[in-house]
Amino acid sequence: MATSKVAITLSETTLKEVERWVKQGRYPNRSRAIQAALEEKLLRDKRRRLAEEAAKLDPAEEQAMAEEGMGEETWPAY
């Protein structure tokens, strides 16, 4: 995977927390700590969007679609 460098500005409070993580050995350096935090935020955002879309579904309609055509049919043997 290709990587790119970016410059960011952090508040002193945030920087102290990131440095604390590094000092505690949670991350090898500040760059990796910030990268991990951003990746976690992106994953949470993706999950949130998925949950929002799932909430739009009608459970009764989804159940009906799942059961549609299931009468006498059986799954093929593998």
Q: Where are the domains of the chain?
A: 12-63
The CA angle 33-19-35, to the nearest 5 degrees, is 15
* Per-residue b or e along 32-70, where b marks 16 or more CB atoms closer than 10 Å to that residue's CB: ebbeeeeeeeeeeeeeeeeeeeeeeeeeeeeeeeeeeee
The pTM (predicted TM-score) of the whole model is: 0.62
DSSP 8-state secondary structure symbol assigned to residue 27 = S
Helices (H), the chain: 12-23, 30-55, 59-67
pLDDT in tens, the chain (78 residues): 788 999 999 999 999 999 999 999 999 999 999 999 999 999 999 988 888 888 888 888 878 877 776 666 677 777
